[in-house]
Amino acid sequence: MNASSDVEIDNAFATAVQQQASAVIIGADAFFLSRRAQLVALAARHTLPTIFRYREESTSGGLMSYGTDLADAYRLQGNHVGRVLKGEMPSDLPVQQSTKVQLILNLKTARTLGLTFPLALLGRADEVIE
């Protein structure tokens, strides 16, 4: 489903519940990141397990997130900016992409949803929120 407004997000969750979705995956998008409180609240209200892309969504109450470590990505960007400010030409710099990903699990949200994470998944998590 697509959503590009607060009302469309509400409607998308209502449709997911109506269609008996067993879980929701929220895509990586600045719009969705800025609406994380709304998304987390809707997931909780509809008791719908929801997987997010960024750590901030899990720490805000989302069930889990798996995606780019933003701190690492910003560090790489800062290094590039520093090199440009020291006189290097941007066209001479290598293209870099953050390769560090994080798996964050929120046990409190899992308990609220009546879910448990397998021990193997808990062991692989970068962070477990109690």
Q: What percent of the chain has pLDDT over 90?
A: 75
> Does 118 fall in a domain?
yes
Mean local confidence (pLDDT), 72-98: 92
The total number of structural domains that make up the chain: 1
Q: What is the CATH number of the domain that holds 55?
A: 3.40.50.2300
> Does 60 fall in a domain?
yes
* pLDDT at residue 70 greater than cutoff 90: no
Task: Give 4-19 pLDDT, tens digit per residue.
Answer: 999 999 999 999 999 9
> Does 83 fall in a domain?
no
Q: What is the pLDDT of residue 33?
A: 85
> Does 73 fall in a domain?
no
Q: Which domain range does residue 32 map to? A: 6-68+100-129
> Does 77 fall in a domain?
no
Indicate the average pLDDT of the chain. Answer: 92
Round to whole Å and give the CA distance between 42 and 39: 5
